[in-house]
Structure 1
Amino acid sequence: MKKIIYSLLAISFLLSSCEDQLDINRDPDLLSQDNAALSSEIAAGMMGIGATQNFYYAFIGGIWAQQWSQSLAASQYRAIDDYSIGTNDYTGGWSNMYDALSDIKNAKKLAFEQENWNYYLIASCLDVYASQIMTDFYNDIPYKEANLGIDNLQPNFNTGQEIYDFMIEDLDDALGRDLANSSLPAPGADDFMFSGVMARWVEFANTLKLKIYLRQTEARSSVAQAGITAMINANAAFLTVDAAIPSSVFKDEANASSPLYENDRRQLNTNSNLRASRTMWSYLDANSDPRLEAFYGLGNPLDQGDYNSDAAPNSVSIADISPLSPVFFISAAQSYFMQAEAMERYNGGTGAKALYDAGVAAAFEKSPNFFDDTKSEANQNWVFQTPYDHTPFIEAGGVYEYPEAGTLDDKLSAIITQKWISNYPDQGYESFFEQHRTGIPAVSAVPQTSLSYVPGEFAYSVNGVTGGVFPQRLVYPNTELSRNSNAPDIVEITVPVWWNN
């Protein structure tokens, strides 16, 4: 375990400069002492997870969720947008996530030995949270044997379904501990998300369980129903606030900004790689949604994957990203939308409308207008402004009014579509997973150039190389395949993960 605490202001630089040195098979104790402080491990692990998801997986997710498209004037993300991403692409996501998990797993071990149940809950939550991202992208991954150091440098892979059961078991174990009798030290400033307020971590754990169960609604409906019904009957508390590393810790300076901005804008020395995808742009535009100006600059969108377009580059809308954007783990909007879906599926719709409305409100509040389209990016003030007013959109007759009189499919369509929007800009991977689980947004039967294209429907990449089949997953990186004899054979990106079969 490293004894270097990841700096809030330098995490992006650390990730981009050392990705080749860090991987799941290294000994986590080589860089530290056995008596590592819990606070150091939690701080390092939390920042490592946040930076990895906000860097590697945000780019992949944002394009595959059709919030962004690769610029026609650059080539940085073409492998993502045309679905040719392979074993040598974005390998740092795997190695850096497991490196962060080495800190978290050591913190969990130390917390258990010290009977510090507060830190044990935090570490368990972070372990499960990061592991779900990885298994949803890769399916089978090391879980039980991951990050065991010299005791096992070639861990076995658990199946995705096994991991889902293990994650619930681990969260229930942590939630079952007596937090009131937890030994010192107590979490505080090292807890970047909740500053040691343990009630929030209980809510985070419950919300994470809800996400795990909802992901199984199509693959194991009885498991999802039983788990969620038990939580409803127990009056489990869920998040009503953002679980995020807040914008206040970042600065509009080199190596000090939010990882997404740092690695796209500063490290590449350009703001023109990511462009507005017609998919999301057209949906916001058709509904006169004011968040359009917060998400994208002036100009027209690009058809998904049409990076060989003959349009003038400066006519295509640039994706707006702020150096001060928070790093979200689970947003309040996500939590409300998940609760609304759970109530519709398993509790007769009780309270679903109020939860949906709260989700839309939180999503609008999450999207203040950072960007001034009259100024260049270099001259932005990057200040939060008054959130957009969501009220006209959800009131009677509003374009986002909850369809109380509609079918379950109508209600799910409203919930998942609004969650899709709420995940901009850094959690598109969640919308990518959800689209495969639910089929929402729907896939267009016609190209986006067609007059009959329905705004917001997913479209196969213009330059896609997978024969019309959307990507379903990531392939294992060569770094893992070459170092771990227990790694599975390469699986094509068009093969669904277990919960989508």
Structure 2
Amino acid sequence: MKIIKSISYKVSMITLLCLGLLLTSCETTELDLSDNPNQLSRDQSDPDLFLNSIQVDFGKTVERFGAIAAQVVRIDNMNGRDYQNVYAPTDFNDVWSGSYQSTGEVFEDQNLHNQTFSGILADVRALEPLTLEEELYQHLAMSQVLEAYIIVTLVDFFGDVPYSEALQGSSNLNPSVDDGASIYEAALSLLDDAIINFDKDSSAEPNLDLFYNKDWDKWIKAANTLKMKIYLQRRLVDSEAINRFNEIVTDGNYIQNSSEDFQFSWGTNAIQPDNRHPRYANNYEADGADEYMSNWLMNLMSESDDPRIRYYYYRQSNVVPGAEAAPNEETLNCSLESPPQHYIDGGFTFCYLNKGYWGRDHGDDDGIPPDGFLRTTFGVYPAAGRFDDSSFEGTSQGDGAQGAGITPVLLSSWVDFMIAEVAMEEMNTTAARTSLSNGLTKSIAKVGTFGALDPSGDLSFEPDGTAINSFIADRLAIFDAAVTMDDKMDVIAEQYWIALFGNGIDAYNFYRRTGFPTTLQPNIEPFPATGNFIRSFPYPADLTTNNSSVDPKPDVNQKVFWDNNPDSPAFPIAN
């Protein structure tokens, strides 16, 4: 990561909202920057600007968290053979500053393409007294939901983190960490308060709502759905968690259809600032795609004729060396190599796939050959690239939907998979099957709406209703034929993984919570050379360097509070 320039925090936010998103008009205030260019005084503060900043930083921070989590669970490609060292503490400085405090810096990052990070929690703290003073209860409620999601995610990634003592400025420069369980409780309290505040009469509504366009009933459903997620994540250590989860399901006031989906929408502006989907901005460039797709996920979808595959991936070539084409050491050197023995023993695909799906195996950290216009890249969902109409052309800036995609946060299809997990825990396979069917149906329907975003795509290649119905029926038949509960959980987990494409946070949590799916491609380097699977990530370097109360973690084997499963590799997590 390289710091390329320093800018004023609030000025950058005003620029980002007013010039970048182009979703609504904004009013700026005169800023006296003579004292501290990164700090607004109360009389200069605009609640709408704070809320706008919180929303935009939330989208960027969730996108980054989701990308890292997706890599370790094979939804995306992980470039590193050793779990202990694949992620350095400095890799998390961006999400740390994005979550906590403004740094005023622009980071050049492979997943966020020169995005500016501010500080969600710092802005929430500054916003709260303004909302109470001016009776702006919906402003406050929105910020409470976003804060709850962020602090839960910080716990899920790092374990115990500063919270109750954080953001106190010079009065406490070394805040101690809070127990993750207490932060979860704080998140639930925030959500309860938010639900109350959404229903209050306010002096004014927010100028801009990037999620639900000021539909407060949908915000309440999102808050309840986030509570469901929290209960599910701590069910291993909370005997009442499933009961609390089911109470919300019975009440019915949660996200149940795509019109209620909780997601962040990106724009099409390429410069000053670049507000396109980061996956688009990073891969639809003059020098071709920068990221590799996961061979495991592409193979799973290709082999099953998954109707979402042409939306998720765009193939720049119709042949892959070693598959339809002769091996080529220059563009795909592993096409001349033999699979490692544990891949052969487990029957895992290695190096290359058929039909032009050109990606990488889990943990492949080979150098980068001249394949930027050959490798498979992100498609029209969710990154708003190209729909794969078998044109097999190299991509460039401006192709497809120009980056106006989404970062999914909580989708209705995901909720059905959450319900399926609970049903399996209760040994109710009939209810789990119904939820599996519902989740598949909703996921495929939502993804299918993205094809029309690509004006150049030949949509005659879209799957028809017969193909979609056949695919769903086949998945349900496999579920029915599965003899053991573990086999049935593999079916649910694989389809949950596919639905989660675009944000791997819940997959990472599910994997540590359940150990499924057991079908994941292992790391190229066999255990024990890989080290144990990452049970939590290293503390960010900025935290341990600047805070004398927090020491670096000894390794990635430290479990978060809700993970009481056995250590890897005894626990059925593939290394």
TM-score (normalizing by structure 2) = 0.69
Partner Cα separation in structure 2 for residue 197 and residue 208 of structure 1: 17
Partner Cα separation in structure 2 for residue 91 and residue 287 of structure 1: 39
Paired residue secondary structure (1:274)? coil
- 8 A Cα contact 1:144 1:158, kept in partner: yes
Partner Cα separation in structure 1 for residue 412 and residue 17 of structure 2: 22
TM-aligned CA distance change 1:270 to 1:336, over 3 Å: farther
Shift of 1:149: 3.4
TM-aligned CA distance change 1:351 to 1:467, over 3 Å: closer
Tell me which residue corresponds to 1:306.
364
Paired residue secondary structure (1:52)? helix
Shift of 1:475: 0.8
1:213 pairs with 2:231 = yes
Q: What is the letter of the counterpart of residue 287 of structure 1?
A: S
Tell me which residue corresponds to 1:472.
535
Pick the aligned partner of 1:64 from 68, 72, 85.
Answer: 72
Partner Cα separation in structure 2 for residue 61 and residue 69 of structure 1: 10
Partner Cα separation in structure 2 for residue 365 and residue 468 of structure 1: 39
TM-aligned CA distance change 1:166 to 1:401, over 3 Å: farther
Tell me which residue corresponds to 2:219.
201
- 8 A Cα contact 1:11 1:255, kept in partner: yes
TM-aligned CA distance change 1:382 to 1:245, over 3 Å: farther
Shift of 1:212: 0.6
TM-aligned CA distance change 1:271 to 1:157, over 3 Å: farther
Paired residue secondary structure (1:288)? coil
Paired residue secondary structure (1:327)? strand
Paired residue secondary structure (2:510)? helix
Partner Cα separation in structure 2 for residue 64 and residue 8 of structure 1: 33
Shift of 1:226: 3.4
Shift of 1:163: 1.2
1:496 pairs with 2:496 = no
- The range that moved more, 461-470 or 353-362, is 461-470
1:435 pairs with 2:452 = no
Q: What is the letter of the counterpart of residue 265 of structure 2?
A: P
Shift of 1:410: 4.9
Tell me which residue corresponds to 2:62.
53
Tell me which residue corresponds to 1:418.
495
Residues 57-88 of structure 1 show CA distances to partners (whole Å, capped at 9, x for unaligned) of 24322321212336xxxxxx548988421222
Shift of 1:209: 0.5
- 8 A Cα contact 2:293 2:376, kept in partner: yes
- 8 A Cα contact 1:216 1:223, kept in partner: no
Name structure 2 gaps, 5 residues minimum: 1-8, 22-35, 101-118, 316-355, 386-402, 565-575
Tell me which residue corresponds to 2:290.
273
Tell me which residue corresponds to 1:73.
none
TM-aligned CA distance change 1:411 to 1:173, over 3 Å: farther
Shift of 1:439: 1.1
- The range that moved more, 202-211 or 347-356, is 347-356
1:340 pairs with 2:340 = no
Pick the aligned partner of 1:144 from 159, 164, 176.
Answer: 164
Q: How does 1:375-390 map to 2 (within 5 A)?
A: 381=455, 388=463, 389=465, 390=468
TM-aligned CA distance change 1:121 to 1:382, over 3 Å: farther
Partner Cα separation in structure 1 for residue 481 and residue 539 of structure 2: 45
Partner Cα separation in structure 1 for residue 368 and residue 60 of structure 2: 35
Residues 280-307 of structure 1 show CA distances to partners (whole Å, capped at 9, x for unaligned) of 1221122111323333323344221223
Partner Cα separation in structure 1 for residue 15 and residue 241 of structure 2: 36
Question: What is the aligned residue count?
Answer: 452
Shift of 1:417: 2.2
Report the structure number with the largest CA radius of gyration: 2
- 8 A Cα contact 1:63 1:80, kept in partner: no
- 8 A Cα contact 1:6 1:48, kept in partner: no
Shift of 1:383: 6.4
- 8 A Cα contact 1:200 1:239, kept in partner: no
TM-aligned CA distance change 1:246 to 1:347, over 3 Å: farther
1:110 pairs with 2:112 = no
TM-score (normalizing by structure 1) = 0.78
Q: How does 1:28-427 map to 2 (within 5 A)?
A: 30-33=39-42, 36-54=45-63, 56-69=64-77, 77-78=79-80, 83-98=85-100, 99-175=119-195, 177=196, 179-187=198-206, 189-218=207-236, 220-240=237-257, 241-247=260-266, 249-251=267-269, 255-261=273-279, 264-265=282-283, 270-296=287-313, 297=315, 298-308=356-366, 313=371, 316-320=375-379, 321=383, 322=385, 323-345=403-425, 352-368=432-448, 381=455, 388=463, 389=465, 390-395=468-473, 398-401=474-477, 403=479, 409-424=486-501, 426-427=502-503
Residues 127-169 of structure 1 show CA distances to partners (whole Å, capped at 9, x for unaligned) of 0111122111111112223333344333221121221122112
Partner Cα separation in structure 2 for residue 165 and residue 326 of structure 1: 29
Shift of 1:400: 4.4
Shift of 1:48: 0.4
- 8 A Cα contact 1:369 1:385, kept in partner: no
Partner Cα separation in structure 2 for residue 490 and residue 180 of structure 1: 43
Q: What is the letter of the counterpart of residue 358 of structure 1?
A: N
Q: Please, what is the CA RMSD of the aligned residues? A: 3.7
TM-aligned CA distance change 1:103 to 1:11, over 3 Å: farther
Partner Cα separation in structure 2 for residue 481 and residue 352 of structure 1: 43
Partner Cα separation in structure 1 for residue 358 and residue 47 of structure 2: 50
Tell me which residue corresponds to 1:15.
none
Q: What is the letter of the counterpart of residue 232 of structure 2?
A: L
Shift of 1:479: 1.4
Q: What is the letter of the counterpart of residue 139 of structure 1?
A: G
Paired residue secondary structure (1:245)? strand
Residues 211-234 of structure 1 show CA distances to partners (whole Å, capped at 9, x for unaligned) of 11111122x140322321332454
- 8 A Cα contact 2:81 2:530, kept in partner: no
TM-aligned CA distance change 1:223 to 1:37, over 3 Å: farther
Name structure 1 gaps, 5 residues minimum: 13-26, 71-76, 373-379, 443-455
TM-aligned CA distance change 1:80 to 1:328, over 3 Å: farther
Percent of aligned positions that are identical: 21
Tell me which residue corresponds to 2:351.
none
- 8 A Cα contact 2:255 2:411, kept in partner: no
Tell me which residue corresponds to 2:107.
none
Residues 161-186 of structure 1 show CA distances to partners (whole Å, capped at 9, x for unaligned) of 221122112212332x2644322211
Residues 368-388 of structure 1 show CA distances to partners (whole Å, capped at 9, x for unaligned) of 49789xxxxxxx857695974
Greater RCO (CA < 8 Å, at least 6 residues apart): 1
TM-aligned CA distance change 1:309 to 1:353, over 3 Å: same
TM-aligned CA distance change 1:116 to 1:352, over 3 Å: farther
Q: What is the letter of the counterpart of residue 47 of structure 1?
A: V
Q: What is the letter of the counterpart of residue 188 of structure 2?
A: I
Shift of 1:42: 1.4
